[in-house]
Amino acid sequence: MSAINAQNATEAIDLCVLANRILANEGLFDGFGHVSVRNPENPQTFFQSCSVSPEFVNHDDILELDLEGNVVTKTDKKPYGERVIHSAILKARPDVNAIYHGHPFEVIPFSSLNIPIRPIIYPGSMFYEGIPLYDAYDVSCGMLVTSKEEGARLARVLGMKRGLIMRDHGLVVVGENVPLMVNGAIFCRDNAKVQYQTLALGANPKYISYEEGYEAFRKVTNDLTVSRMWDYWVKRVRKSNMAIERREYGR
């Protein structure tokens, strides 16, 4: 999958901007939420937008941060308050190079009712090993994860999984690279939507089994499939006039 792995910091920044735009275009972001991409030139830092809404992130919004959540870039721009979600996971998971955090409505009922999300559509098999629930908030942080302690705790609950839902709050999805993270975020939302509709209609749906999911995971994450989907998301965001080359839009 080398073609879709960032080879240097410039490519990582490009992918970070594009991932923000793509995920907004596919409905994975409201005004809040964020993306991070590890720096291929220095795995102890990562790239992330300053505090602006993902739909409107531009290249000059991207900051470099370290794995304690400190801003390395010399700038007056403010980072996201919840950047510790990203720094804590990137510290705990050397296999992860890209992270999504957002608030798709589709996952909230599962988090509030503590109903596990299980694969019920083919691409949902990306999550065949399960999606843990985070419900260990510091009450004084007001449902946000803004302290290093809570970031580390969230990373522990995530463990080696690919996604995590936060009670009454949202979703975290990680990937080995940006396209896998983007696919994971979109497919997790889609799977939750279909699982919701199914459970609202009847009990005991026949989910994709662990063994089915094990095989399907390998299909949906192979190089060819990931490249094809990435090509699709990029074409769609360009078609929506939200592409990078028009990033002056809205100013």
Q: Which residues bind a copy of itself (CB under 8 A)?
A: 30-31, 51-53, 55-56, 78, 103, 105, 108-109, 112-115, 119-122, 125, 135, 137, 139-144, 167-170, 190, 193-194, 196-202, 204-209, 211-212, 215-220, 224, 228-229, 231-233, 235-236, 238-239, 249-250
**Whose Cβ is closer to a copy of itself: residue 89's or residue 234's?**
234
How far apart are alpha carbons 165 and 158 in whole angstroms? Answer: 9
**Pairing relationship of beta strands 170-175 and 163-166 according to DSSP bridges:** antiparallel
* DSSP states of 195-242: HHHHHHH-SS--PPPHHHHHHHHHHHTSHHHHHHHHHHHHHHHHHTT-
Cβ closest to a copy of itself, residue 41 vs residue 168: 168
As measured in angstroms, the least distance from the Cβ of 42 to a copy of itself is: 29
Q: Which is nearer to a copy of itself, 41 or 149 (CB)?
A: 149
Query: How many beta carbons lie within 10 A of that of residue 31, not counting itself?
Result: 11
Least distance between a copy of itself and beta carbon 212 (Å): 6
Q: Residue 92 or 147: which CB sits closer to a copy of itself?
A: 147
The nearest distance, CB 154 to a copy of itself, in angstroms, is: 15
**Least Å from the CB of residue 29 to a copy of itself:** 10
Would you say 52 or 92 has its CB closer to a copy of itself?
A: 52
CB of 94 to a copy of itself, least distance (A): 27
